[in-house]
Structure 1
Amino acid sequence: MTLNLCVLTPNRILWDSEVKEIILPTNSGQIGVLPNHASIVTTLDIGVLRIRRFNDQWFTIALMGGFTRIRNNEITILATAAEKGSDIDPQEAKQTLQIAEDSLRKAEDKRQRIEAKLAIKRASTRVKAINPIS
């Protein structure tokens, strides 16, 4: 039994193939999805999508929020933005995280702090997506 996973962004299809298992970052926490999962529609948080293929190799995608629908072993993810972990430049991702952390330290008002915390969440997600679980 397999899952058909399709990850869509406004610009492209990022992933479209059969998988064995996924772990999704939802707004209420992570959920694991195996074949014959109950049908749901849920919002996605900024976080790492973990995908297990049939050779038990894990892949990651940095998701920047969105929605997912799971129904009849078909998973459709509509992501605000997404990037494969293997496509992320580690040095650039770490520099972006450092810049976001510096922005938080320099924030002078509530709005700047909120924006900086969101930037940190996006940047740290990209850093986490670089190394898939083994």
Structure 2
Amino acid sequence: MAGTFLLELVSPEKLLLSRQVEMVVIPAAEGEMGVLPGHVPAIVSLRGGALRVYEGGQVTETLFVPAGFAEVTPERVTVLADEATPVAELSRAQADADVAKAEAAYTAAAAESPEKREEAMDRLLAMRVKKDLATAA
């Protein structure tokens, strides 16, 4: 199809999404990254955030991904994430609980290695984004 590319969203358990789309905006570690057909090849790390799928010139689906990686080629984008939740299905109560759990884990990591503290902070930031998305949904 002209003007589209294949978007695949993969978790360790299964293929979550596979279809032709016009554009996708992914939460890259360096900031949001829009991908159109013919994009330059890249491999990027993802931070917690919203993955937005565009079809027909508008957002047709928004998913929360807590972290992962994306491989971009001119014909395909493959997103590897442990989980992906449609924003409409996010629970504010669950998001609040996830933030509290991540805050406790970050506090507990204070005596750990810098890598463990950074990992705990990344998780905390992702859960705060999840809470923001759940509140807006």
Give 3-state SS (helix, strand or coil) of 1:10's partner. coil
CA distance in 2, matches of 1:108, 1:41: 29
Partner residue in 2 for 1:30:
32
**Of 12, 15, 21, which residue of structure 2 is paired with 1:13?**
15
| Distance verdict in 2 for CA 1:48–1:110, change over 3 Å | farther
- Kindly indicate whether residue 47 of structure 2 is the aligned counterpart of residue 49 of structure 1: no
TM-score by length of 1: 0.75
Per the TM alignment, residue 81 of structure 1 is displaced from its structure 2 partner at its CA by: 2.8
Per the TM alignment, residue 99 of structure 1 is displaced from its structure 2 partner at its CA by: 4.5
Partner residue in 2 for 1:111:
112
How many aligned positions are there?
Answer: 131
Compute the RMSD of aligned alpha carbons.
2.8
Q: Deviation digits for residues 28-87 of structure 1, max 9, x if unmatched?
A: 222111222112222222322122222613422222322211113311111133222222
Structure 2 gaps of 5+ residues are none
Give 3-state SS (helix, strand or coil) of 1:124's partner. helix
CA distance in 1, matches of 2:67, 2:101: 21
Specify the code of the residue in structure 1 equivalent to 2:40: A
Q: Is the 8 A contact 1:2 1:19 kept in 2?
A: yes
Specify the code of the residue in structure 1 equivalent to 2:94: E
Specify the code of the residue in structure 2 equivalent to 1:121: L
| Distance verdict in 2 for CA 1:56–1:110, change over 3 Å | same
